[in-house]
Chains A and B, each alone.
Chain A
Amino acid sequence: MIDVGTPGTATAVARVPLSKKRPQKRHIPVLATAALFGLMYLVGVVSYPGFSDTQILLNIFIDNAFLLVVAVGMTFVILTGGIDLSVGAVVALTTMISAVLLRENWPAGAVLPLVLLVGTLLGLAMGCIIHFFEVPPFIATLAGMFLARGLCFVISDASIPITNSTWTGIADVRIWFGGFRITISVVIALVVLLIGAFVLAYTRFGRNVYALGGNQQSAMLMGLPVARTRVAVYTISGFCSALGGVLVSFYMSSGNSLHAQGMELDAIAAVVIGGTVLAGGSGYVFGTVLGVLVLGVIQTLITYADLNSWWTRIFIGALLFAFILLQRVVNRRT
């Protein structure tokens, strides 16, 4: 294709190592996250006896299973270049509806699908408003956030305990292996994670998500189903938030309008720290897992260091800033 012996070969030769380097640059944020996680874990192990216990690591999963599920949904949305600010409110609404219905002696088998459906429909509605009425995602989902929180307060502004035996039964199950334990929530979160990763990497829908985030115009010109994909990611995020809400209601054994306040930031932070580019088109679900783990280790370290809880917020804000900056630097070079 290139006539040999002309200066063109020189550029072609020079380009080969460059293009080989490119995937590595794309991976810089993920590698930085992995390194950060390793470093923070090491700091914990060195400074605090007992931190090296594997159970500490598993506890991070137990305490953040719901965040993991929500963050997987958020990854889909951010990959298309959108954002979903309603996740925390949908989580709270799910705990609220579950708690009220279970108090009215509805069977758990009916409540579970119903709350998942409510979250999914909310996501679907927001997706439709965003795509068909061209309302910017942050405005539509901000409105969704207020709507869901508003519905919570209408249901009740007090905390409602959950005493349903099926619900508390599932919440209390501990899966033991070799002296370590995890909860059902962790298993659910890992399943969601694997499905999410598979869909993004190996299905046509997954490729559409990346294409849409990479360049919406091109995706449309290529004849990809932009409308269906765009609406679907918000629906997925709505479903994941509802499922996250169910896991929160397992974890807290109550429904409360104030549950999951600020979770939208935690989820966005996890996704961004995990290396997904906010403009869309590039990122992995497994990066998001690393992001959640980093947040989890921060919380654990702050508990161990006996610092006040507000330091968590300041640290998460600072980390988010650092990683957005890193994305900028990496993207500018490539």
Chain B
Amino acid sequence: MLRRSVVKELLKTGSGRVGSIFFLVLIGISIYVVATYPLDFGVRSWRNPAVWADYPKAAPPVWTNLLSNLRSAEHQVLDKSQPTQILMGETSRTNVYEFRTNFLSDEPPTLISFTLAGVTFYERSPLLNIRFIRPDQNQLLLYSFVVPGPTAGEQAPIKRYYETPLRVALSNERSAISAVADFSRSSLGVDVDTAQLTREGILKILFSSPEAGHFRILKGVYAVQVAVELYDSRDSVGSLRLVLGGSTFGVLGTDSIGRDLAVGILFGFPVALFIGLVTSTLTTLVGAFAGIVSGYFGGKTDTLIQRVSDILNNIPLLPILIFLAFIFGQNLFVIIFVLIAFSWPGLTVIMRSMVLQIKSEQFVEAARVLGASRMKIVVQHIFPQTAPYVLAQMIFLAPAAILAEAALSFLGLGDPSIPTWGQILESGFRSGAVYVGFWWWIIPPGLLIIFTAMTFVLIALGLEPAVNPRLRRLR
């Protein structure tokens, strides 16, 4: 009866309906994340800079292009594992991998990098040539490279770049710089020295053509051809990747070390729900149990519980947390434990006074006269009276826990292995995102914390009529 009526009451009110819909959204996203993300996402991806090396740093979301006249370069990651073309020579075979992109931005890319993974060879070291072909059909050999040969005692097949892929930041490569300098002189007729190129970067020249003394961005289809010359039929190449660095990225942009904020923020959903629900459920269980014991059984137990809650209520939480973080390291479970340890007394004090009042009701005395045991009286008569209130408290505690965790993370006390919205906020704040104006780094996690808290508050408000027995009796 209780469960059904509570849900019914909840859906009767506007705030209850909106809150329930929001809650379902939160649950849906969380289920998706839990199903698709690795559990050690924090350690393996989020905290690993190598993963984010090819990402643009502090790039705003792509859709910000819609807001400005100047079209900024979009970050592109192009992958190839099958050659576009295979040229057979007499003693060798050349795998050609061609990356093409229609470049329409009003500014050059921020970087070009090339990654090669998984090369196997038997006789001779394979040779790589990277050619750059522009829309005006001008082209240049940007970079050449020979895969290092066998070391002393190494036996065929020789494997390279399986563990750590070879990553070449072409835009900073010496040989590329001098190749561009030659290209500029011979094909574009513009004299630039290598020192200047090193300073200003080669990309501006690579992606533009001179026009009345200025370089103007050349739009159109660019191609990068990677030719790998192999000397044995058993030789193979794994995968290649070309990154054209852009100044915008993804749905939510990136932070200053290139992390895709959308990925981190999505991961924050289940974590926030976990913190909110686990903390509130356990706090409510402990608080309600202690309150009922304290109120119903009284005596020394009551005194003890009340003193302990007085003490806990009056100890400032923050120093304790800092202290515990120091001892146990920054651990989400320690944080949750401390939040529970310090939140139950509030509920206990209220539960105790409710139980004291219910205990004096005549129906409790009636049950005693009937011979009901104390346990039965608590379970049958006392707890059901408090249940709606306990439920509301539980819902109110959830956003409090989420906010507390966010606040702690913001102070740098968060668990580094589990990214949360609070931590994203904190890293943004620490990197000066607020001062520099990296709003995409600050606003989404902030709004989501508020949204999640609001969801719970709306549900709690929607439950108000079910919880307040006086209101319900009037119906």
A and B are partners in one complex rather than unrelated chains: no
What is B's interface to A at a CB cutoff of 8 Å?
A: none
